[in-house]
Structure formats: C-alpha cells, structure tokens
Structure 1
C-alpha cells in the first residue's frame, strides 16, 4: 500500500510541475517553434482559423489554416477558448491509459514499472515541449493511446471510432487499422516470446473494417456539412500528400521538395506517399501474434516518414518503449541510438537558430540535423523490431524460432 501511495504522489508531483510550466514565459517562447508545431498542428494557425470562422470568413480560403473541419469547428474551438487548460487533463489521460495497457499486457501490477511509464511520458522532452507549445499533436498522441487502450480491453466500437477521428485529423494514422483490428480479435498479452500466430476470423475482420469505414464516412460528412462544402479535404488531407506548405520541420520531406524541379514533383510525391503503405502488410502479418507490438512499430514508422511531423511523433514512439520492457535486454545498439537522439536534439534548435535568427547558416544546416534525427528514429525502429523478433529465439546455440 505504501508503494502505491508513493507512486501516486510521484505522479501528482510530476503533473503539478508540468502544469506550473504553463504559467511561465516558456509556452509563449515555444508556441511557433517549427520543431514543435507543424502546419497541421500549430495553435497559432488554429486560433487564426477559429477567428475567421467566427467572423463569417471561410478559413480554408487561404493557405494558413489546414486543420480538419470536424475538430476545428467543434472540439478545437473549445480548445482555443480554454487555451492551455486542455492539455493538462489530455496528457494525464494518456499516461493513465498507457499504465492500463501495460497492466493488461503484462497481466500484473508493478508499481515501479507503472511509475516509470508515467514519468517517461509526462517528462519526455519530445512530448513535454510540444505540449507547452500547445501543438495539437498532443491531442493526436492522446487519441492514439486511448484507441489502443480500448482495443487492448476488447471494446471495438470506441476503439474504431477514436481511430476514425484520428484518421480524420491525420490520415497517415489510418494505416494503424490492420494491427488494431488484429488486436481487437486477439489478445494484448505479450506474445513475443511465444510467436504462435492465432487463427484469424476473416468475417469479423471484414465487419470491423466496415464499422471503421462507417465511422470515418459519417465524420467526413459531418465535417463537410459544417464546413459548407468539400473544399476542406483538399486543404487538409490534400496537404498531407501534396505538401503545399514547405515550412521547415523535423521531417524528411520539406527540403527535398524545396529543391525538386516542378516537372518531377508529382512523381516523387507519389513515391513518398506510397512509401508508407509498403510497411503495413509485412509488419501486420509478421507480428500478428502480438498486434500491440505491431501497432508500436507502425506508429514509429509513421512518425518518421510522415509529411508534417513534430517532435511529439517520435516522442510517443520512444516513450512507448516503457510498456515493452521485455525487448530492452534484446536491443542491439541502444547507446548509439540514444546518442543519435541527443545529438539531433542539440543540433535541431541550434541550426534552426543559426539559419532563421542569426542568418549565419542556411537551409542545409537545419536539414542536416533533420537527417540525423531521421537516422535516430530509424535506428530505434529497426532495433526495436529486431529485439521483438529476437525474443522468440532460444538463448542456447542451435535453437531457432519456430512460427506457425
């Protein structure tokens, strides 16, 4: 009992410290940082869109506002009114859901591990700084964790509805549908050490897919009704694929298409967009014995290769390592991966400052740091995937993985 109370007090203390940071000058300094808020998640752009809408103007008429209509005109208008107040309970809910996912996955309760999960999520710099900047990527992460929570506990309708909302906000997250459906049909308990593929009920799979498509279609129709047309789809979902705004961010797209000749732009936009699709089937099939781990790996891939990422995207992936402690001992290169992230975390703000503020650098400086950041994320994904597969092998010479 004393350990539970101690863990609860630690969580309350961390939560209070995070909340206190909103009353410092830090949020105002971070609000428009390109590494923390993208074109699709900027709080400043959100306020601009809400202001235009309230004054009778179409916020999608220009090129500034690109958030999805459903969320903006309803939920996010409330966010704009409440300012920083919304992110405090959102992050707390996400941390609580991660603890619940860990409990059902491990089929146990470990106060020390649960305290580590809460601490890592609430104090992770990649997650804390975008939260202070009021980036709506914090809401994306919370919705994803909440959807995984409902899926892990076998509640298909809430899980699919939340995934549909998330896909409306950020279409790349729709790629998580296959592992989440597998999770709804399977078990969230860790099966990495026993990689025996379950029997798949294809009829139920089709029903769950149809339910997701129904939710997504209804949300799309509601958004179009409120927005007064379909133009919002081009400005929001189209921006994810067509990359109309080349504002620098920690991703791998912006500089490449800044230098791209217009004649070749459509082809490479297609290549970059389709590139994400090629991972879905192999990851979902290979890791169908542990769909929660498959969701974890796919989220990391999406966060690395999406068109408008922020630090919050790989931040969620690295924070979720805490609910997969069984893979930590099997990581092959954890120290180089951590050092790459530290290196990138130092270079990104430094080179951005030298380029934008001081004027002593150029775009190549900042893009070099984003390449280091992308390499760090890729190294973490590959190492995590290898560790998850390695658990299934015996430790003695001559033992091999048997999967059926």
Structure 2
C-alpha cells in the first residue's frame, strides 16, 4: 500500500506544477462558495489586515480555517498543494483502516485496491487538485468513521464535531456514528438482527459530541470576534444566498423561484435532507456503517453546495462492501450514467460560460443527469444491502432475516 500512497502524492505534485491546476482552481464543479481556495485566501488577507472577512458577504469558510491558515499553515499555493495531497493520503489510510476493522483483519490483499480506488477516483482527485477545502471535509468524515469502527468514542466524536463545524450537513452522520460506537463495524448485512444495545447508552455520547461542538462554536466566535460568521457560514447552507452554479440540484431551482415562495421551499429542501436519517438508521440498525454509507450518498445528491468530492466519497466507500456486489442490479447503467455526466458537466459549463453558445438550461440538464446517476447508485446500494439477507437455493430464495 505504501507504493500506491507514494505514487498518488507524486502524481499530484507533478500535476500541481502543470497548467491544469490553474484551469481547475475556480471550477464551480470542484469547489463551491463554501469550499473555494480563492475565497479562503481572500478571507485570510482581510483577516490579517484587521478587516472582518464576513462583513462583505462573500467569505463563507469556518473561522477555524482563518485561524489555521493565518498562523500555522504558510500562505503558499505550493505548500497548500503538498498539504492537500497529504490530507488525501490520510483519507485513503482511514478508508483502509475501516476496511480492516470491518473484516477483522490486520492486513489484506485488498488494502492496496481500496487505497488506489480512493486516490485515483477523479471525483476525489480533481477537487483536491483545485485545492477545494471539501477535501478536508471528506477526510475528516473518513477519520471519524475509522475511529468509530475501532471503538474510540472520544476521538470519533471530536473528529465528527470538526466535520460538522466545517460542513453543517455532516450532522446527519451523528446517529449512525453513535450506533456504530454502541455496536461493531463487522458485516451483518447477511444476518440482520434488531439492535441489541441500549439506546440510553448513546445519551452520554450525544452529550459528549454536543460539548465538543459547542467548544468549537465558542472558539470560532472568539477568532472571528463575534457571531457574524454563523449566518455567513452555516446560514449559507440554509438560506442559499449565493446561487453560483454547482453540480447540485438547489441552485437552478432557486434561481427561478419567486421571492415569496423562497422561504417555504428552503424549509422543504432542508427538511428533505433530514427525513432519511431515521428510516436508514432503523432499517440498517444491524449494520450502522452501512447506514452511514447510505447517508453519505444522500448528502452527495441533496447537499445545498455540493462538489464532486461529495458523491466521490460515497462511490469510494462502495469498496468496503464486496458482499453486496452480486446483488447490484444495474451497475453498468449507473457507471455509464456517471461517465456521461462526468463528460457533460464541463462541456455544458464551457458552452454556457466561456463560448456563450449555451445557457443555464444546458448546465442544469447535465446536473440532472449527474443527480440521476448518484440516485441510481444510492438506490442500487439500498437494494443490494437488503438483498444480501436473502440466501439463494436451487428452487428460489429463502429469507434469513427474522
């Protein structure tokens, strides 16, 4: 596995020195208003000059990024390229450790494959190359799941608190993470049983997470010298003030929305994200890691400001569940849809923005194809996760689920 990690870092460093990095730097498919490196550098400059970066309404990163990049991390794109590559490697390492915990093995032949599938996934690779801070969100989510799979409650909850602080929709991962800490990461898809732990044991875990989260909120308020960052950072995901085009499904809908309908549909879109948590956690209570995996797929589709790294994380996690592969119904169709969308997104964006021969409908059509591809993959994985519980016999299927 060391060879794959070294190769991935070397490849990124080579591409950083090429003109490709400059072309991808401000690509709206790879970085959003909440994750753009250009906006981050602008905010750091204002912060160092004693100007509140949140006063202009364009800086939407967490104050923790301000504190980190203005004190500890040098403000250099060359150093940032190395840092982003190392963060990606950390994510691949965490993914491998999750696989080992799930399979109860120390090392396996599959380790290198899992690391390679993550590091060479273009949905993960390209946002990292553009220095999108979504790379930090993705890696922190994996590290949190890794600690939970290893039974390290405090480390997992603290990492998840950082993740939710940087990307508020990640709060949806708290219930399956707590279930994972109360259960185990082993594969139980083939033999589902009701959750045998006591839910009351999860209350201290929720309280511990709340303490970490509130501490980060307090630290951010001190760093930014006020609470104005909340409406500009977290509020952006709820109020959608910036309608910069992205691969998601929100921006075009609210571009065409009449103002007096806007609050109602903002509430509907926000609540829509939440309604998946309870059904998935209840149905897959016997395998909380799989429930967390499916919720990451939901976020990849319906997140307010997604980038390619959001569905990329979901697709990379499929490598952890080889027992579901025989039960996937349309893997070829889903793969072709993703390939189709991956080609259409930059093409239609270029026709609209660069050449002026297209319009917003062109790009939004490609995002709909992308949404269908992600939705197809998610539904296929839900089906496969349920179908594993059925054992095949000569004359049909026998249900092993009680």
Q: TM-score, normalised by structure 1?
A: 0.96
Equivalent position to 1:256, from 253, 257, 266: 253
Indicate the residue corresponding to 2:372 in structure 1: 375
**Contact persistence 1:36–1:310 (CA under 8 A):** yes
Whether 1:58 aligns to 2:57 is no
Structure 1 CA distance for aligned equivalents of residues 119 and 147 of structure 2: 21
Indicate the residue corresponding to 1:400 in structure 2: 399
Change in CA separation of 1:8 and 1:168 when aligned onto 2, cut-off 3 Å:
closer
Within a 5 Å distance, the mapping from 1:63-74 to structure 2 comes to: 63-74=57-68
Indicate the residue corresponding to 1:3 in structure 2: none
**Contact persistence 2:48–2:70 (CA under 8 A):** no
Structure 2 CA distance for aligned equivalents of residues 76 and 394 of structure 1: 57
* 1:163-193 per-position Cα deviation (integer Å, ceiling 9, x unaligned): 1111111110001000000000111011111
Whether 1:361 aligns to 2:358 is yes
Indicate the residue corresponding to 1:4 in structure 2: none
SS at the partner of 1:399? Answer: strand
Structure 1 CA distance for aligned equivalents of residues 136 and 331 of structure 2: 29
- Structure 1 residue 398, shift from structure 2 partner: 4.7
Equivalent position to 1:15, from 3, 9, 19: 9
Indicate the residue corresponding to 2:119 in structure 1: 122
**Contact persistence 1:66–1:235 (CA under 8 A):** yes
Equivalent position to 1:171, from 165, 168, 172: 168
Indicate the residue corresponding to 1:222 in structure 2: 219
Within a 5 Å distance, the mapping from 1:200-239 to structure 2 comes to: 200-239=197-236
Structure 1 CA distance for aligned equivalents of residues 45 and 321 of structure 2: 43
Moved segments of 4+, more than 3 Å = 79-82, 109-112
Greater shift, 18-27 or 41-50, is seen at 18-27
Structure 2 CA distance for aligned equivalents of residues 124 and 112 of structure 1: 19
Whether 1:29 aligns to 2:23 is yes
Indicate the residue corresponding to 1:38 in structure 2: 32
Structure 2 CA distance for aligned equivalents of residues 358 and 235 of structure 1: 33
Greater shift, 303-312 or 75-84, is seen at 75-84
- Structure 1 residue 49, shift from structure 2 partner: 0.3
SS at the partner of 1:61? Answer: helix
**Contact persistence 2:29–2:308 (CA under 8 A):** yes
Structure 1: runs of 5 or more not aligned: 1-6
**Contact persistence 2:63–2:224 (CA under 8 A):** yes
- Structure 1 residue 201, shift from structure 2 partner: 1.8
Equivalent position to 2:98, from 101, 107, 113: 101
* 1:32-81 per-position Cα deviation (integer Å, ceiling 9, x unaligned): 00000000000000000000000010100112100011232225762644
**Contact persistence 2:9–2:86 (CA under 8 A):** no
- Structure 1 residue 401, shift from structure 2 partner: 4.2
Structure 2: runs of 5 or more not aligned: none
RMSD: 1.3
Structure 1 CA distance for aligned equivalents of residues 125 and 298 of structure 2: 21
Equivalent position to 2:133, from 120, 131, 136: 136
Indicate the residue corresponding to 2:183 in structure 1: 186
**Contact persistence 1:348–1:369 (CA under 8 A):** yes
- Structure 1 residue 129, shift from structure 2 partner: 0.5
